Amino acid sequence: MRFCFTALIRSAAAASLFLAVPPHGAFATGAEPTDEQIDSAPCVAALTASDDDKIISSCGALIGNEKVPKADRVKALIARAAAYERKDQIDRALGDYDTALRLDPTLADIFNARGELWRKKGDRPRALADFGAAIKLNPNHPAARGNYKSLAIEVERLGALIAVNNRPSFNCATARRTVEKAICANPELANLDREINAVNTKVVREATNESPGAGRARQREQDDFIARRNAAFGRPDYDLRKEMRERLDHLLAAGRQ
């Protein structure tokens, strides 16, 4: 979900956002001219036309001019960041959001927007921090709350996967068989064993839902595979990795039936 502030900047009403910046060469009342100010018209026109290239070039002039009011520099930064994001220049968009938040750290929408970019880059800790900052500023921010919840679930799931990564379905500390010790010593075989066990559990459960006999038959297939594996391991012509991959492929095919 895209935040409302950026949606406003993209709209035709954007021209009103920069009225605080006088046009280039404007004069105050009287005979003497004021100091020249940056011309906001090109930036406003680019926003109105949704022309990302012109937004980047024209609004940059406002961003870099200290005579432009801070609030308008923030709006120009947000507009340019959105343009960079649409052009998939994520690091530049992040840089503009960083600057905008340094100028005004009260913008919940922009914390959420920056969090979405961090998530897109795969930096989950920074994304969670930004979503949390947005919620702290606006506890009822729907996009930030949704983003925080979904990312927290994702992080929890990844943590669970990491916890079992390179571990087989059985406890290596109590492994006695030579084949089990070989599986424990090889991360690829350990992951294969865990996948085989997980998919077999699913296949047996689904078969049991159809009939208890079908479920028992599926489990006997797994028991027979393990028995053959235990008996054949160590023979010169026995390829444990190949046999385990074939068993996994068979189970996956059965699960799709």
Task: Give the start-to-end residue ranges of the domains of the chain.
Answer: 4-25+34-162, 172-256
Q: How far is CA 56 from CA 80, 92, 118, 161, 172, in A?
A: 5, 11, 21, 42, 58
The helix/strand/coil state of 169 is coil
Count of Cβ atoms closer than 10 Å to residue 155 Cβ: 14
pLDDT number for residue 195: 87
Region of 236 please: left (phi>0), alpha (psi -120 to 50) or beta.
alpha
* Amino acid 249: pLDDT: 93
Rounded distance between C-alpha atoms, residue 119 and residue 211, angstroms: 45
225 CB contacts (<8 Å, ≥6 apart)? 247
Give the residue among 204, 209, 210, 180 at the shortest CA–CA distance from 194: 180
* Amino acid letter, residue 137: L
- pLDDT of 49 reads 87
- Tell me which architecture the domain covering 4-25+34-162 has in CATH: Alpha Horseshoe (1.25)
15, 47 contact by CB (below 8 A): yes
* pLDDT mean for each 10 residues of the chain (257 residues): 41 39 35 52 85 88 84 91 93 95 95 94 89 94 92 72 71 90 91 89 91 92 95 93 94 81
Residues 27 and 33: beta-carbon distance below 8 Å: yes
Amino acid at 32: E
Picking from 220, 192, 3, the residue whose alpha carbon sits closest to that of residue 115 is 3
Long-range pairs, 205-211, Cβ under 8 A, ≥24: 206/255
pLDDT given for residue 257 in this prediction = 66
Cα–Cα dist 79/71, whole Å: 13
Tell me, what's the pLDDT at 51? Answer: 87
CB contact at 8 A, 130 and 115: yes
Question: Against a cut of 0.85, is the pTM above it?
Answer: no
pLDDT of res. 161: 53
